[in-house]
Each structure stands twice: as structure tokens, then as C-alpha cells.
Structure 1
Amino acid sequence: MISSTFHFGRLLAAWLVVYIAFCIFLVESIFEHTEFGERDLGGYFVLLGFVLGLWVLSGVFSHIRRVRLVSGAVNSSTLSNRQRRQIEIPFEAGEAFDLIDAAIRELPGAVISESARDSLQVRAKVARIDPYGNSERGEGRVSNWALDHFGSRRNQILATVTPNGDEAGSVTLICEPEGAAWTDWFLVDHGTNLENAEAIVRAITRRVAERRRGEKARVRQTATEKELTVAKLNLLHAQVEPHFLYNTLASAQVLTRTDPARADEMLGNLIQYLRHSLPRTEDAPSTIGEELERARAYLDILKIRMGPRLQLQVDIPDALRGVLFPTMMLQTLVENAIKHGLEPKPGGGTVWILARQVDNAVAVTVADDGRGFTAEGGGTGVGLRNVRERLRLAYGSAASFSIVANFPSGVAATITVPNAVNSTVPEGVHHA
């Protein structure tokens, strides 16, 4: 109430001073030699002053009413024609500039007069819309005449971004009439600059919230992908193919009656295979050497079952056996070579396991001379898709997987990973 009274009193006093000066000038310059006396003119001056006071009162009342509707509070700050805001944006200065620039452009009737990203400043002109739509009424005509002669029909906005560290920007926002500051003593903006300032703050808040929601969604998606990868990996760790285990135990049972020494060898290989396949509790990465031991145990079991139909050749330098390597991937390639390449082929064949260094990476290849890419020899491809997805999540673009036809027959699959020895495993790579 005090703020409203003071605001009205200030405007009325300013108009009163101008009106008294006008009356004095009128009396001394124009009417001093006429037949009208001061008493005759006094009545007219009082009446005109009363009308002027009513006009000022109606304008101030409308202004206060609109400010209350826009902000919900009436005080010296909200009643002012010129609004200033200090906004802290939790983004670096360039992103903060983009936010404020976009927010100003979305204002109805806004025209950007200058948008300088290097100096981090935005200047704009905004058409002042009559909130009451009374331009055809007398009050509107008087107000428009006052704006045309003393003020402006437009507001203006100046936004300056100040860098506040590497990850934050501070925005100084000024919304004001286009006219000179002295016009504030005579004219009101009906809360239009307050409305512009509040709209820009809301737009920035909304955009920051959208950015935060997007970041949280990406974090949740990444976490979900990692959890899915870990779940798939744990499934691979715990999974021992029922048919393979059943056939191995059945073969060992038969060999205990016919060839106990070979049965003992097969069971020893099965124990070795299971030891490498079951999850371990220690937080240690797997290596090419450890994965090779798992694959050897698997192939040694199959060699007892398949006999001379399966041959194995390994060429992995000792210097590369300590290179970090994702668990179960080599095993997956070996199993594919046996199931889809050699087992369906009459007479069997050979499996090659090779490793070589290529620049700062290591390429591990599993090749066979089996049936190759044929309808009879192909599988569902789930295992190979899993290899590709795990490599992507673990290494990004630093790792690759390729599978090509081998010459003269068969398939060669190659996994290429960074050459990392005795260092932290990339995120997503886990031990067996």
C-alpha cells in the first residue's frame, strides 16, 4: 500500500509541476493582455487540473493492477518501469548465451537488433502491446499521444553474459522502455517490462530443466546399457552348454570302462574348463593367456571326443599373453568354429588361434577350415552380435570385430583391442 501510494504521489507530483509551469506560462504570455482576469481563468485551470489528476490516477491504478496480476506482489521493484534480473545459469558462458538468446527471440513481438556471441551480448526491441486493448477509447488516445511525444511504443532488452568459471555463466538482464529515463516520472508501462523479464526467466528455467532431464535420461540409459552388458556377461560366465556338459560326462562314463586313462584326461580337461568358466570373486581382469587356457581346455575335451577329426594350432607370442582381453569372447569364437564349421564337416578340420600386435592394438584371430558361410553351417548369430555389442560398450571405437571367409574354406574371425598390459580394464570389461 505504501509503495502504491508513493508511486501515485510521485507521478501526480511530476504532472502537477509541469501543469503549474504550463499555467504560469499561459497566464503570463498569452492572457495578460486579454479581457479575461485571473479569477476567470482560475476556474478553468482547476477543472483542467482535476481532469489531469483523474487521468494520472486511472493510469497508475491500471499499472498497479496489472503488476499485481503479473507478479502477485506490489512493491517499488515490481512497480518500476525498468526491470533488472541477475540469473545464474549452470552452463558455460557460450551455452548460457545460446539459452538467453533463444529465450528473448521467443518473446511476442521481439526483434533482435544485435546478437554478438563473441561479446556475449543480446539487444532486442519488443513491441509494447496494450494489455487492455483500449486504443480506440479516449484514455487510450491520451496515453498514445503521451507515448508518441514523451516516451515510446516499444520496450527494449539488454542481456549480458559474464563467464563465471568454466561451467557457469551469469546473465544480467535489463528490460526497460525505449524512452529516456526521465519519462518514468510521467508514464507507466502497465507492467510490460516486468512481464518480459518474468517470461525470459521462466523460459531459461524451462530450458535448463529440459537439459537436466535429458542428462538424467542419458545417464539412466547408459546405466541400463551397462547393467544389461553385465547381466549378459554374467550369464555367459555362469552358462555351461547343457549338451556339451552332457556329452562330455557321457563320453567320460564310456571311457571309464574302455580307456580309464583317457577318461581321466577328459575329466581333468572338464575341471580346467569349468574353473575358467565359472565367475570369480577377485576383482582382476582377464588376459589373452587366461582366455587361451579356457579355450584349450574346451578344445582338449573335444579332441578326445572327435579324435583326429579336430586339429589345433596356436600361435600367440608370450609377450601378448598378458594383454587385457574381454572374458568369454575368445571362447565364443572357438565354439562357433567348432559348431558351425568343423562338426558338420565330414572329416573335421583345424582350428587356428593367432595373436599379433598391430601398432598400439592387438588382433586375436580364430580361424577354421570348416564349411564356412553356408546355410547348413550358419547359426543364429546371437553370439557374434553379443561380441560386437560388448566391444562397443567396453571400448567404443577403440576396438573392432570382423569376420571373413577363410581360404580355401572356413571362416576367420578377428577381435582387435587396445594393447593394455597390467592397467585398468576399460569400463564394461569384466573378468571371467
Structure 2
Amino acid sequence: MIKSAFFILRLAVAWMLAILLFASLWDELPLLGRLEWPVVIAGMITMALVVAGAVSHLDRVRLIAGRIDKGTLGNRQRRQIEIPFEAGEAFDLLDAAIRELPRIEHVESARDSLQVRAKLGRPSNYGDDLLGRWNPLRWFGTMRNQILATVTPTHDSGSVTLICEPESAAWSDWFLVDDGTNYENAEAITRAISRRVAERRRGEQAAAVQTATEKELTVAKLSLLHAQVEPHFLYNTLASAQLLTRSDPVRADEMLGHLIQYLRHSLPRTEDELSTLGAELERALAYLEILRIRMGPRLAVQIDVPDALRGTPLPPMMLQTLVENAIKHGLEPRTGGGTVWIRARQSDGEVAVTVADDGDGFSTKSSGTGIGLKNVRERLRLVYDNRAALAVVANFPTGVAATITVPAQFEQERRRG
């Protein structure tokens, strides 16, 4: 109540001083200066209109803001808004929010200096003014507002300084009110920014959920693929071991040892846990040793993986998929068998793991459905976010070479992130 009374008193005093100045000038006029009643009547009408306008301003501000204080009553509003995006994105978001304001007339945006200036008209909240130009509250300045917004870059966000004010000099605030329009503009821009930030966050969350769903689907497909392969592999291995126990117990014992090693490395991991190149290589070698006992001299294996690279993080079962493809589609169809190479090299912060064979290559009779390689590519995309790749090319002179390329320090980066 005290603030409202002080606000009305301030406007009334300013106008009273202006009226007294006009009256003193009127008195100096020849002939007209003797007539005092025009000045008295004009002064009384002006004061009545000023008080009525001030009360109207107070009621409107109370209606909009829900409170009356120095911050809400002022014609000039300032806001400091933190946008959790880098400065360029914050500027684009701010510029779009300002351009969507109602009654916007002119917008100047300078992306290099991260500034936006705008002019916009004031609404006629109570219809047309009956007094028109004779209303003393319209005697100074124009019935327009302006906006100045500046984005200040910070470490990982943009800090917006927003100023909403009348398009008139600051001294006019002693005589004029804006009916809360600049408070409305400042709040509207703040709400628009909050809405756009929330919308962006919802989009990011939806993308994250979709990515997680895709990842779960890819892992499920990969698990299903291996669930289909494992029983046949286990059945054939155990059947071969059973036959060998009668003719060659030593080789049967060796085969079962490799099977145990293979199964030990095939234990399920948690959803996001990565394996290592060394662990995946042990699984693949156990698998290949079992096949070497079954295929005999038809299968040769060559390994060239430096010890320094065996700790490289690698999603489980990827190397195994490439080895199984080399055997199933490359060497098993050939009567004479062939060789499987597993090689790893590091270059420019990346580790390339290659599985190659000298089998039938991209022949129609040995080509599969491609589901295994498709799942590997999709899993690499989901785990490494386009920082890893799978390349499948023809080997020289025959066969196929499949290479997985992954970041060397991915696990450390993921933990820091």
C-alpha cells in the first residue's frame, strides 16, 4: 500500500511541478496572463488524468505480476537469463523467441556480436483512448517499446542480458507509465526461452530413450543370433569330443579344455560393460582351436596382436562374429580349407582389429544374410557414437578382410564423461 501511494505521489508531484512551470510562463503572457481560470481548470483535469492513469497502471501491474514492488512497477525491465547451451545456440534460441512476440515491428540481429534489437508496438489494453492526443500521459515519447538482448559466452552456456523499455528517454519515466507492457515483454521472452530449452531437453531425452531402445534391440538381435549358433556349435563340439574319447583321448581332452575356455569367456556381462581385445581374442582362439581339431589341416590360424593392445576396450562378441563369418562363409565351403588371420594395429589414437581369410570371398554360394555384420555396425554406432567403424573388403588374392576401428582410449573417456 505504501509503495502504491508513493508511486502515485511521485507522478503527481512531477506533473504538479510541470503545471506550476506552465502557470508561471502563462502569467508572463500579455493579456492572457490575467486569466487564471484556464490554467486552474487545465491543471485540475491534468492531475485527475495523471492520478487515474497511475491507479490504472498499478492495477494492471498487480494483475499481471501478482505483486507490487519496485521491480514490477518500473517502465524499464532487466533480466539475466542463463541458457544451458553454447553461445551460438543460445543466440539462435533468443532471436527466435523475440521474433515470435506479438506486435513485433522490427528486429535487428547481429550474430557476430551476439546482440538483438527490436521495436514493438504497445497494445491498447482498454480500447481506444477517448482523449487521444489530449491525454497528458501521451504527451512525451512514443507509444512503442524496444528490446535490447545480449548473449555473453561462458564456459559451457550463454548468459542473456535482456532489457525491455519504452522508446523514450529515461526522464520521461517521471511523467509516463507503460501499463506493465515492458514487464509483460520481459516475462514473455523468459517464458519462451524456458519453453524452448525444455523442448530441446525433451527432444534430447527422447533421442536418448530411442538410442537406448535401439541399443537394447541390437544387443537382443546379437544375443539371438549367438543363441541360434551356440547350440549347434556346442552339439558338434561335444559330439566330436565323444568320438575322440574312443580313438584319441588326448585330443578329446584338448578339445574339451578349449570348450571350457570358450564358455568361460562367453559368460554374460552387464548391459554397458565393455570387454577387452585380449579377452575377446582368448574366446576367438578357443573357438578356432576347437575347429582346428575338427577340421584338422584344413584350418590354419595366424595371430598378430601386440600385447600392448590387448587391453583395448571392445564390445563383447564382435571379434567372435567376424571369426565365425570367416569360417562359415569363407573356409568351410572350401574343400581345401584355408587360413584365418587376426591382426591389430594402433594409429592416430585408433585401434584397428582385422579378421581376414583366404576363402571363397564374396561369392554367391557362400554369402550369408548379413545380419551379423549389420548388428556389429549398429552396435558400434550405439556404443561409440559414430567414432567407430566396420569395413569389409575383398582380401588379396582371395577371401575377405573385415576391420573394426575403435578409439584407443574410449573407456577412460566414457568414465570421465
Normalised to the residue count of structure 1, the TM-score between the two structures is: 0.77
Of 164, 167, 178, the residue aligned with 1:175 is 164
Matching of residues 2-401 of structure 1 within 5 Å: 2-31=2-31, 42=37, 45-111=39-105, 114-117=108-111, 119-135=113-129, 138-143=130-135, 147=138, 149-162=139-152, 165-220=154-209, 241-279=230-268, 285-288=275-278, 290-308=279-297, 310-316=298-304, 322=310, 324=312, 326=314, 327-345=316-334, 347-355=335-343, 357=345, 359-360=347-348, 363-395=352-384, 399-401=388-390
Quote how far apart the aligned CAs of 1:391 are: 3.2
What is the identity, as a one-letter code, of the residue corresponding to 2:122? Answer: R
> SS at 1:241's partner residue?
helix
Quote how far apart the aligned CAs of 1:19 are: 3.3
Structure having the higher Rg? 1
Q: For residues 284 and 185 of structure 2, what CA distance do their matches in structure 1 show?
A: 70
* Cα distance change on mapping 1:50 and 1:366 into 2, 3 Å: closer
Q: Deviations over 1:224-259 (max 9, x none)?
A: 566667777777898871111112222322333344
Q: Deviations over 1:263-315 (max 9, x none)?
A: 3333233223323333589x995335x5444333323333443445x221314
Aligned identity (percent) is 61
* Cα distance change on mapping 1:343 and 1:15 into 2, 3 Å: same
- Contact 1:394/1:427 (CA < 8 Å) preserved in 2? no
Point out where structure 1 has 5 or more consecutive residues left out of the alignment: none
What is the identity, as a one-letter code, of the residue corresponding to 1:157? Answer: I
Point out where structure 2 has 5 or more consecutive residues left out of the alignment: none
Quote how far apart the aligned CAs of 1:368 are: 3.5
> SS at 2:79's partner residue?
strand
Aligned residue pair count = 411
Q: Deviations over 1:106-159 (max 9, x none)?
A: 323335565445554433322223222315xx323423x863x42212222233
- Contact 2:151/2:161 (CA < 8 Å) preserved in 1? yes
> SS at 1:367's partner residue?
strand
Q: For residues 354 and 324 of structure 2, what CA distance do their matches in structure 1 show?
A: 13
* Cα distance change on mapping 1:158 and 1:349 into 2, 3 Å: same
Q: Deviations over 1:331-365 (max 9, x none)?
A: 222222222333344x2411321426364555444
Quote how far apart the aligned CAs of 1:162 are: 4.6
Q: For residues 425 and 192 of structure 1, what CA distance do their matches in structure 2 show?
A: 53
> SS at 1:61's partner residue?
helix
